[in-house]
Amino acid sequence: MHKNIVFTYIIFTILLLVSRLSVAELMIEITQGSDSAIPIAIVPFTNKSAGAIPENIQKIVSADLQRSGEFDPLPTNRMLSLPDSAKAVYYRDWRLLKQNYLLIGNVEYSKYTKNYKIQYELFDVNQQQRIIGEVVSGGEKSLRDLAHHISDAIYEAVTGVRGAFSTKIAYITLQGSPVGKGKLEYRLQVADSDGRRSFTLLKTSEPIISPSWSPDGKKLAYVSFESGRPAIYTQVIKSGKRTLVSSFKGLNGAPAWSPDGKKLALTLSKDGNAEIYNLDLATKKLERYTRHYGIDTEASWSPDGHSVVFTSDRSGTPQVYRMNIYDLEPERLTFEGRYNARPRFSGDGNSLFFVHKSNGSFNIAAMNLKAGNQTTLTETPLDESPSLAPNDRMLIYSTQRGRKGVLAVVSVDGRSKYFLPSAFGDVREPAWSPFLR
């Protein structure tokens, strides 16, 4: 393997080999909110059932909206009343508390259907009118899904942008092997976007890297070293069915799904040097995209599928390039600094997010492709693996706190930030899912 192929694997490997602990669900630690966050009062949902409700709907919705950085939920102990119907809403009270919006609701369990029915209403306090309302229902295991659905509806009603609280994240964890003897265990995890309800899709004693979601959210592609060398797999999340798609001699890395889900962009060194290839998943036909003595890797598709961006050291240092897949002529995009890598398009194709090195620190940067201007979004010293939420509002990445790898999220304007650390061990290589139906 070429000695310069470090910007794909070496940082990841060094950072992960520091933990020997177990991994639990991710936690949320909000460190910075936006000064322009919208005040909203989310009243505790009235329990109309005979027994206790297994999930706190108000708490989940409040946490979702606060985590977005665009809402500032009012603490319950500051509320003057706890209405659960429109006729019990007194707008004067909520204006006095300087709230822009008010959410009320109730939950009722049916012993006949075994389902919970949740009714909610959102009000504009200043306009003194109801904005949206809905009745949703599901079983006990669906309560968190229903709460995230409510959060999505509120977010879209207020901002005009589709909410992404019902999405998932994938990530890699490292922990000590249950059998001990100094062995490590790598796990490919999938969880809700808030880090809850995590489950293991794959565990192995060899590294797993580069998880990538299929556009329909039903599969993940990733690189596994379980055979002793890198190979690329796809795996159905629901059934767990795995398919080996690339195991050529040398490097098999950085899989990225095309927008139509029919192809994977890969990094292969089967012809002697690390190059970008396109693999048709149905026909298994390979098409080589790059031809250069430099290292080309970490490809990512544009939303329209007409071009890819990738990392290359053909200029002497890792930089970001864009290439139309029809003429295969690369165009350099980054010129600020000696290290820019792991590029990812925004959903509208107008922006690019990538790892940028400045003053010895690796941070996440954003570039407006039309204007060409670049801004740095993060400040922690070793940030990598950026992945954008499907609504283009938040970006998840991995970083390090002390000797521990954690996940972090930043808004695309850099105003809001929070961490998703694990109580035990290291967490790395996040990938945010597309919208899930």
CATH number, domain of 93, equals: 3.40.50.10070
Angle of CA points 80, 71, 27, to nearest 5°: 100
Are the CB atoms for 186 and 206 separated by under 8 Å?
yes
Q: List pLDDT tens digits, range 299-356.
A: 999 999 999 999 999 999 999 999 999 999 999 999 999 999 999 999 999 999 999 9
Whether residues 132 and 235 share a domain: the answer is no
* Per-residue pLDDT, 216: 97
Q: Is 437 inside a domain boundary? A: no
CA gyration radius for the chain? 23
Residue 334's domain spans which residues?
6-26+167-432
The confidence score (pLDDT) of residue 414 equals 87
- pLDDT for position 34: 64
Last residue in a domain, options 91, 125, 159: 159
My answer on whether 318 and 229 are in the same domain is yes
Residue 10 lies in a domain: yes
Tokens at 246, concatenated:
């690339």
Question: Does residue 44 sit in the same domain as residue 144?
Answer: yes
Q: Does residue 214 lie within any of the structural domains?
A: yes
* Predicted local distance difference test score (pLDDT) of residue 27: 65
Residue 133 shares a structural domain with residue 195: no
Supply the pLDDT for residue 403: 80
Instruction: Tell me whether residue 367 is in a domain.
Output: yes
Same domain (yes/no): 234, 320: yes
Please report, in angstroms and rounded to a whole number, the separation of the first and last CA atoms in the chain: 41
Judge if 154 and 173 occupy the same domain: no
Q: Which of 103, 131, 159 is the last residue of a domain?
A: 159
Q: Is 95 among the domain residues?
A: yes
Query: What pLDDT is recorded for position 345?
Result: 96
- Give whole-number Cα distances, 265 to 146, 222, 283, in Å: 35, 12, 14
CB 275 within 8 A of CB 293: no
Q: What is the pLDDT, as a whole number, of residue 178? A: 57
31 found inside a domain:
no
Do 119 and 240 fall into the same domain? Answer: no
Same domain, 89 and 146: yes
Q: Are residues 413 and 335 in the same domain?
A: yes
Shared domain for 400 and 277, answered yes or no, is yes
The pTM of this model reads 0.90
Q: Which residue ranges of the chain lie beneath pLDDT 50?
A: 1-24
C-alpha distances out from residue 70 to 39, 263, 298, Å = 9, 36, 32
- φ/ψ (deg, to 5) at 123: -120, 145
Q: Token digits for 148?
A: 């995230």
Q: Considering its fold, how many domains does the chain have in total?
A: 2
